[in-house]
Amino acid sequence: MQPILKFNNVSKHYPNGVHALRGVSLDVKQGEFISIIGPSGSGKSTLLRAINRLIPISGGEVLLDGEVISKQRGKSLRRQRRKVGMIFQNYNLVYSLSVVQNVLHGRLGYMSGIKGVFGIYSEEDKQKALDLLKEMGLEQFSYNRASDLSGGQKQRVGIARAIMQEPKLLLCDEPIASLDPSSAKTIMELLHDMTQKRNISCMVNLHQLDVALKYSTRIIGLSKGEVVFDGPPEKLTDEMIEKIYGTSRDNLMIGGNADEKADTADCA
């Protein structure tokens, strides 16, 4: 089966001399649920953002659905981008608009000039958006302003917007980093169920190792811009974790029993 996404020796260095990615190569197949883990500054966000060209890469190539996205511009780039949904840490909704309007934003990439500019959505799309909100358990908030929702609800709207795009790949940039534990659980379960049901590949940036282990079919460990681990969660040994984070597993848990003073300072 042809991979949805292919990284060929991708590198990225910023003008300030930081090498965010060094020779990253990987394939993503349909329906995979991939967690990307690694300490802050290891290049997790850069990796995700290189996929839909929010960040242009410096070397190598990114192939999305068999086409090189890393060189595309204008209309063909927009056509590629709509195949990739994205979910953000801070939800990034338009808070002055209604919940259903925010969900419908997922359709904008498919709409022609004038209709897109004035936001004239088809009845079919509107029905689909309402159905999706029902599936998310947000139907009673459909016509509320997005600013009225709680954090977990806002993130659910963010997921609905991304699903509305009918993507082949879903990118989640630390989707639960601003949420309380119970909302975080709901969101991870929704992400998992929605993508598995629709056979969408999902790539999630995570800070929480236990969450990554629980939901993913595959884990990618990044350290200083290089892929140091790529495999199923069962194979992620304690030594491997130490290699990714540069500290032992005990130190990753708050209140862990290892010598904290020395190591937590390093990984913070």
Rounded CA-CA distance 4/187 in Å is 24
Distances in Å between the alpha carbon of 260 and those of 169, 207, 241, 243, 267?
Answer: 39, 18, 17, 18, 11
| Closest distance of CB 50 from other proteins, Å | 13
Q: Copy the structure tokens of residue 28.
A: 């993503």
| Closest distance of CB 171 from other proteins, Å | 8
Residues that bind other proteins (CB under 8 A): 52, 54, 78-82, 84-86, 88, 90, 92-97, 105-111, 116-119, 158, 161, 165
Q: Give the strands of the sheet with 5-13, arranged side by side.
A: 19-28, 5-13, 59-64, 67-68
Nearer to other proteins, 111 or 240 (CB): 111
Nearer to other proteins, 111 or 228 (CB): 111
| Closest distance of CB 178 from other proteins, Å | 12
| Closest distance of CB 260 from other proteins, Å | 33
Nearer to other proteins, 2 or 147 (CB): 147
| Closest distance of CB 52 from other proteins, Å | 5
| Closest distance of CB 165 from other proteins, Å | 6
Nearer to other proteins, 27 or 166 (CB): 166
Q: The tokens 């190792």 sit on which residue? A: 209
Phi-psi region of 2 (alpha: psi -120 to 50; beta: other; left: phi over 0): beta
Nearer to other proteins, 29 or 82 (CB): 82
Nearer to other proteins, 175 or 221 (CB): 175
Rounded CA-CA distance 140/89 in Å is 24
H runs (alpha helix) in the chain: 44-51, 74-81, 99-104, 113-118, 123-135, 151-164, 181-198, 209-215, 238-245, 249-252, 260-267
Contact status, residue 156 vs residue 68, Cβ threshold 8 Å: no
